[in-house]
Amino acid sequence: MAKKRVLSGMRPTGKLHIGHYVGALENWIKLQNEYESYHLVADYHVLTTDLDTSEIYQNTIDMIIDWLACGLEPEKAPFFRQSQVKEHSELYLIFNMLMTKARLERNPTLKEQIRDLNMDNITIGYLSYPILQAADILLYKGNAVPVGEDQVPHVEITREVARKFNNVFGDVFPEPEPLLTRFSRLPGLDGDSKMSKSLNNTILLSDSPDNVWQKLKKAVTDTQKVRRNDPGRPDVCLVFTYHKKFNPNEVENIEKGCKSGELGCVDCKKMCNDKINEFLAPLLEKRIKYENDIDLVKNILAEGETKARVIASTTMAEVREKMKLG
Ligand code: SF4
């Protein structure tokens, strides 16, 4: 039986952090063996919030190196840029005719982002980026999309777009299912609920052991554990969340030690530091190979884009035929 197809995408924001690994890449690596997977560099999506395109190319290369270092295999699951497969824009244009402004404005994720980013005037492109996402997914007839909870409303919009197109013009598209990431969010070093480069609270996948420690030793912990022997509350401490992810075998002892006051925060952070660096060591080694051979990275992207264009042009031919265009 043919494998189901999955489309995963990320904006090219440069070097990735451990939150990206936990929230997306770890899942993508697993999915590339279970599904026919495609990996999209969502470079047009960057324009929805930032018109400065001067660093998009370098950010793309940095991100792709992280993808490769983590274990994504482009031979199995191609990488490609949205801007280099023109059918994304074409299908986006058609899909824009299927969705009302009112429906897009009801999108809870969008409302939250507008509030968080303090945006007064939003562009048409920003309002309609879930439609561009729908085009990204449906161009490859994705059956599933790996997402965090906050992206589920967008997958619902994709499903609505697919349904509307199929009803009006005839069946072309599947209705993709969201594949929820189990461990979807890692808190930032400042205690913010989200690790994010814009908040400067990250541990990068490319950080050296020394960098990791410099960052981790300043990380916010339970504010009520002031002295070493004070009992702590691991459930409100971000370092404990990191332990759960990178040091699962010692979680029970750390929880006991923290609660009883036997374990101090510095020692706890040192243990966490060791485990995170243990996880990052093979990634750093792999990075060197790609950083020293950027042509290899460019070729990986070019090959992925050739493969993506074949599927995208086939879908668009079907769309035009159903719509009696051309
Ligand atoms: S001992 Fe560890 S888990 Fe407890 S508050 Fe300190 S850093 Fe957090």
What's the residue count for the chain? 326
Q: What is the pLDDT of residue 183?
A: 63
**Range 306-321 burial, b when 16+ CB lie within 10 A, else e:** eebeebbeebbeebee
- Please tell me if the CB atom of residue 189 comes closer than 6 angstroms to any atom of ligand 1: no
Residue 272 class from Cβ within 10 Å (0-12 exposed, 13-18 middle, 19+ buried)? Answer: buried
Instruction: State in Å: Cα 236 to ligand 1 middle.
Output: 9
Instruction: State in Å: Cα 256 to ligand 1 middle.
Output: 10
- Residue pair 194/188 in contact (Cβ under 8 Å)? The answer is yes
- Please tell me if the CB atom of residue 221 comes closer than 6 angstroms to any atom of ligand 1: yes
Tokens of 318: 């079907």
Distance CA 141, CA 76 (A): 17
Query: 207-288 maps to which CATH number?
Result: 1.10.240.10
Q: What is the pLDDT of residue 108?
A: 83
- Please tell me if the CB atom of residue 240 comes closer than 6 angstroms to any atom of ligand 1: yes
Please tell me the residue having the least CA distance from ligand 1 atom 6.
265
DSSP per-residue string spanning 43-107 = HHHHTTT----TTHHHHHHHHHHHHHHHT--TTTS-EEEGGG-THHHHHHHHHHTTS-HHHHHT-
194: left (phi over 0), alpha (psi -120 to 50) or beta: beta
User: Reduced to 3 states, what is the DSSP secondary structure of residue 6?
Assistant: strand
Cα-Cα-Cα-Cα dihedral sign, residues 244, 246, 248, 254: negative
Q: Note the Cα 101 to chain centre separation in Å.
A: 26
Instruction: State in Å: Cα 230 to ligand 1 middle.
Output: 10
Query: 5-186+294-322 maps to which CATH number?
Result: 3.40.50.620
**Ligand 1 binding pocket mutation candidate from 217, 255, 258, 272 (most atoms within 8 A of CB):** 258
Q: What is the pLDDT of residue 244?
A: 95
Please tell me the residue having the least CA distance from ligand 1 atom 7.
265
What is the mean pLDDT, run by run of 10 residues, along the chain of 326 residues?
Answer: 90 96 94 96 92 94 98 97 98 97 86 73 89 97 90 92 98 95 82 86 97 96 91 95 96 96 96 98 96 97 98 98 94
Q: Note the Cα 312 to chain centre separation in Å.
A: 22
Q: Kindly list the distances between the CA atom of residue 162 and the CA atoms of 9, 91, 105, 224, 326, in Å, as whole numbers in the listed order.
A: 19, 12, 19, 51, 22
- Please tell me if the CB atom of residue 273 comes closer than 6 angstroms to any atom of ligand 1: no
Model confidence pLDDT, tens digit, residues 5-42 = 999 999 999 999 999 999 999 999 999 999 999 999 99
Query: Relative to the CA of 265, which ligand 1 atom is closest?
Result: 6
Instruction: State in Å: Cα 189 to ligand 1 middle.
Output: 13
Distance CA 299, CA 303 (A): 6
Distance CA 257, CA 234 (A): 10
Query: Relative to the CA of 259, which ligand 1 atom is closest?
Result: 4
User: Any idea where the domains of the chain sit in the sequence?
Assistant: 5-186+294-322, 207-288
Q: Note the Cα 123 to chain centre separation in Å.
A: 23
Model confidence pLDDT, tens digit, residues 278-310 = 999 999 999 999 999 999 999 999 999 999 999
Please tell me the residue having the least CA distance from ligand 1 atom 4.
258
Q: What is the pLDDT of residue 160?
A: 97
- Please tell me if the CB atom of residue 234 comes closer than 6 angstroms to any atom of ligand 1: yes
- Please tell me if the CB atom of residue 239 comes closer than 6 angstroms to any atom of ligand 1: yes
- Please tell me if the CB atom of residue 304 comes closer than 6 angstroms to any atom of ligand 1: no
- Of 139, 150, 205, the C-alpha closest to 173 is 139
- Of 179, 260, 184, the C-alpha closest to 19 is 184
